[in-house]
């Protein structure tokens, strides 16, 4: 979903390079992303820089995704730096990272999440209609979504793009009715 390429002749970034978060426990983070989720550890950079008025010593690890992008995490050597920079993840499904998966990958990841002992509220599933989403909370309190698009919704991408601005204007104007015609009443 959302394959864009070029839009109105403007060059766009071609993919996500990486996201960056702070972890309080790099080994727990490595174990979760590498052993449970299956993302390989691609690089570990051990660094010391002058940042924000002080010398900071930190480790920066990258876990690979299928498109050569990565999820990256920092851990600081200093407890003071660790406290200053995080992690401070609120537990809400409205603050998360979503990763695209196909149906088979979603099933495998969900099975590994369950086998590793992740249960509600740290693991839940939402049927959005246009996609099915498996959510899990990582060792840092960050929610990670594994999103599998509904094939019928993919066929309507052009229609959604054509209506995107009008739908936003309608909603911001106070008309808050749902336009998700994929959801059934029992899932809404």
Asked if 119 contacts 135 with a C-beta cutoff of 8 angstroms, the reply is no
Give residue 1's pLDDT: 53
Asked if 110 contacts 101 with a C-beta cutoff of 8 angstroms, the reply is no
For 13, half-sphere exposure in the C-beta direction (CA atoms, 13 angstrom radius) is 5
> How far apart are the C-alpha atoms of 160 and 156, rounded to whole Å?
6
Give the pairing of strands 131-137 and 70-76: unpaired
Domain annotation for the chain: domains and CATH numbers: 1-88 (3.10.180.10), 89-188 (3.30.720.110)
How confident is the model over 109-167, as pLDDT tens digits? 999 999 998 887 778 888 888 889 999 999 888 889 999 988 887 787 788 788 888 88
Residues near 20 by beta carbon (within 8 Å), at least 6 away in sequence: 72, 73, 74
Strand order in the sheet with 18-22: 18-22, 70-76, 54-64, 41-51
DSSP H stretches of helix in the chain: 26-30, 79-85, 103-115, 151-154, 157-172
Asked if 124 contacts 146 with a C-beta cutoff of 8 angstroms, the reply is no
Q: Which has more confidence, 1 or 10?
A: 10
Query: How wide is the angle at C-alpha 158 spanned by C-alphas 169 and 94, nearest 5°?
Result: 55
Q: How sure is the predictor about 187, in pLDDT bands with cuts at 50, 70 and 90?
A: very low
How confident is the model over 44-90, as pLDDT tens digits? 998 888 888 899 999 999 999 999 999 999 999 999 998 888 767 66
In degrees and rounded to multiples of 5, residue 99 shows phi and psi of -115, 130
């Amino acid at each position: 979903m959302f394959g864009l390429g070029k839009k109105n002749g403007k060059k766009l970034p071609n993919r996500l390079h990486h996201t960056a978060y702070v972890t309080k426990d790099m080994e727990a983070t490595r174990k979760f992303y590498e052993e449970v989720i299956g993302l390989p550890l691609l690089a570990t950079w051990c660094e010391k820089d002058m940042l924000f008025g002080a010398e900071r010593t930190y480790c920066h690890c990258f876990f690979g995704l299928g498109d050569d992008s990565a999820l990256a995490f920092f851990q600081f050597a200093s407890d003071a730096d660790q406290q200053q920079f995080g992690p401070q993840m609120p537990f809400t499904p409205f603050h998360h990272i979503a990763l695209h998966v196909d149906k088979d990958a979603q099933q495998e990841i969900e099975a590994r999440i369950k086998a590793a002992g992740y249960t509600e509220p740290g693991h839940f599933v939402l049927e959005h209609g246009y996609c099915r989403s498996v959510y899990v909370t990582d060792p840092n309190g960050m929610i990670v979504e594994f999103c599998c698009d509904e094939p019928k919704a993919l066929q309507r991408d052009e229609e959604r793009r054509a209506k995107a601005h009008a739908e936003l204007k309608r909603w911001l104007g106070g008309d808050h009715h749902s336009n998700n015609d994929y959801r059934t009443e029992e899932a809404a």
